[in-house]
Amino acid sequence: MQGAVDVLQEGILWLPETCMQRSSWCGVVVVLASVASASGQAPPVKMPPPPSAMATLPAEKLARMNHDLMEVDIEGLHRLYAAHKYTVLDVTRWYLARIARYNGVYRAVQTVDESTALATAKAEDKGGARGPLWGLPIVVKANTAVKGLIDTDGWAGFAQPGHEFIAEKDATVVAKLRAAGAVILGITNMPDFAASDTNRSTAFGRTGNAYDVRFSPGGSSGGTVTVVTSNMAVLGNGTDTGNSIRMPAGTSSVVGLFPTRGLVSIAGIAPLDWLLDNTGPIARDVTDVAIALDVMAGEDPLDFKTAGSAEKRQAGPYTQYLKKDSLKGKRFGVPAFIFTTKGTPLQAETKAMLMRSVEALRAAGATVVLDDELLPDSFLALEQKINTEPYRRDGASQWLGAFGPKEYRTAEEFAKATGKPLPAVFTGEAPSLNAMAAGDMAAGASAPAPAAPGAARGEDRWRHAPPQVALKSDPNAEANYFGPRQAATAAYVEALERWHLDGLVYPSAQMPPPDETLPQGGKLSSGPHSETAWVNGLGMPAIVVPAGFYDTGLPFGLEFSARPWRDGDMIGWAYAYEQATKARRPPVLVESGLLPQK
């Protein structure tokens, strides 16, 4: 059975501590299981297993650290540092040990940058300025540029030996996280080009859900949510084009934030669709998300949507909105389309979990409105008139030009260097008729597992792609993009005003995480799916919080959304819900796979 075989076929990259002795980028070691990938192709490189950082911690100290660091948050970790109980080096080694111990099963981390992480930790222990994330071990998603590391974007083509996409500078958010004192442990796995609702990539294989490795953690930020919920890092970043921070956060009992588009820069993040893409923090609690958002937010000349955000945003710090009574007197609505959409129907067990969450909101002092006229299916139809398809190559070209390696900073240079074109799912261009006939949708790799209609905007979106043009110079940009976006935003705000609502609440996915060892509808699983891509079209803020568990033991997530630039208020609601319900519980991890190694 294809899905069952796929469980143990992932790989990881490990940069050993010996790299600290070298002045230039140290070659990446890749560890791979021997089972072929879902596409029938093995990931590109095989090398020996990584060293275990566990050996650097004495058993007695390790036991104390297990007690003190499991589920630790930013403030708790800083208290431990202030009491001189642990050094940053101690804590970094503890998290590296967690990765070494469990990553062989869950395969959430592609690249472990042990050398740089330990060097950073040692430097921070020597003193100097302490930012809000000082001494905090974090991870970064594989489409977000980290200087000196392979930015695979989940695709084997960017990991080709001799032609790796090695970033020469950090993405804007990564630079901000570093400046705040974060210790970057490594890069998390993701599906090719972020174009899937599951977390299976041609570069490194499949990531398993931390609560049951057979099940999907969702995509495309499934690697980050698995790391964070498993206590392999304190927090990480995700990216989101149709649900990819929020839906995976729900599958893994963590908090995932989609900020108002323009509050955080996406410069340096490989685009799936740059006019829908966003990035935000993923953490185990709302407080850590609020602290991270203060670090990540800010205007950036490399991202035109951030212009003027300093005046539009609510005043920081975002922790000032964290009040346990934030839900009292607030009014929320559940969009009617959640119950009626035919795109991704709401499954019965998910509806039951949603209604439990509604009751929890009411118990916390909020009013929740359910009305058939509150944002019906016609709202989704209006939002889907926002046409970003003609501008996808524009976003890809900007990213390559600003962050690509010297070998290729255009699509043409990539094709010349590697002998293969960039795939259409990345550039937005339809492939040649010959390629379509051969089924070669991804230039040598199988097409990504399709997302839900709302998230992927069509299973074969790149088969019929329109001519690609630059947004700035396109005379049809107002008719294609800006006008429909404004109209859909007005409809959203009008609905909130009509029902006197502060925001909306709804499930982060329309179904539980699927078992990927079994076919779903006769096919390899590509879910779970959601009906939340409208958030990306409008750029509204949204946040997912843990909201309980299905009878199977798998997590359910509740999503809040708000008016534009009301991120602080929304974070406050999420915090109040978190404190009222205390729904999160960590997963119990296993150290060996459920299927035999081959």
Residue 515's domain is classified under what CATH number?
A: 3.90.1300.10
Q: State which of 246, 280, 296 marks the end of a domain.
A: 296
Residue 442 lies in a domain: no
Question: pLDDT tens for residues 378-408?
Answer: 999 999 999 999 999 999 999 999 999 999 9
**CB 218: neighbour CB atoms within 10 A?**
34
**CA torsion through residues 34, 37, 40, 43, sign:** negative
R_g over Cα of the chain: 22
Q: Is the distance from CB of 268 to CB of 295 less than 8 angstroms?
A: no
Residue 37 lies in a domain: yes
Cα distance between residue 253 and residue 200, in whole Å: 20
The two most distant CA atoms of the chain are separated, in Å, by 68
Same domain, 49 and 150: yes
Please give the pLDDT value at position 49. Answer: 46
Mean pLDDT, the chain, as a whole number? Answer: 88
Residue 237 lies in a domain: yes
Catalytic site residue 397?
no
Catalytic site residue 530?
no
Residue 402 lies in a domain: no
Q: Is the distance from CB of 213 to CB of 590 less than 8 angstroms?
A: yes
Same domain, 246 and 327: no
Tokens of 94: 């503890």
Question: What are the backbone dihedrals phi and psi of residue 375, each rounded to the nearest 5 degrees, phi first?
Answer: 50, 70
Counting the structural domains of the chain, the total is 2
Same domain, 141 and 269: yes
Same domain, 256 and 351: no
**Angle at the Cα of 335 (from 334 to 341), degrees rounded to 5?**
130
Same domain, 155 and 35: yes
Please give the pLDDT value at position 41. Answer: 55
Q: Which class for 354: exposed (0-12), middle (13-18), buried (19 or more C-beta within 10 A)? A: buried
Catalytic site residue 582?
no
Q: Which entry of 196, 201, 216, 220 is annotated as an active-site residue? A: 220
Same domain, 264 and 345: no
Residue 346 lies in a domain: yes
Same domain, 486 and 526: yes
Please give the pLDDT value at position 595. Answer: 52
Same domain, 116 and 183: yes
Same domain, 285 and 330: no
Question: Domain containing 78: what range?
Answer: 14-296
> Could you give the count of Cα atoms lying within 13 Å of 548 in the half-sphere of its Cβ?
20
Q: Is the distance from CB of 258 to CB of 162 less than 8 angstroms?
A: no
Q: Which entry of 39, 115, 141, 357 is annotated as an active-site residue? A: 141
Tokens of 452: 């839900």
Same domain, 325 and 265: no
Cα distance between residue 310 and residue 565, in whole Å: 10
Same domain, 364 and 242: no
Question: What are the backbone dihedrals phi and psi of residue 4, each rounded to the nearest 5 degrees, phi first?
Answer: -65, -40
Please give the pLDDT value at position 522. Answer: 82
Residue 78 lies in a domain: yes
Same domain, 353 and 493: yes
Residue 18 lies in a domain: yes
3-class SS of residue 205: strand
Low-confidence residues of the chain: pLDDT under 50:
1-12, 16-40, 45-49, 51, 54, 432-460, 596-598
Cα distance between residue 483 and residue 298, in whole Å: 26
Write the Ramachandran bin of 322: left for phi over 0, alpha for psi from -120 to 50, otherwise beta.
beta
Residue 559 lies in a domain: yes
Cα distance between residue 336 and residue 308, in whole Å: 34
Cα distance between residue 428 and residue 288, in whole Å: 36
Q: Which entry of 244, 252, 357, 525 is annotated as an active-site residue? A: 244
Residues in the chain: 598
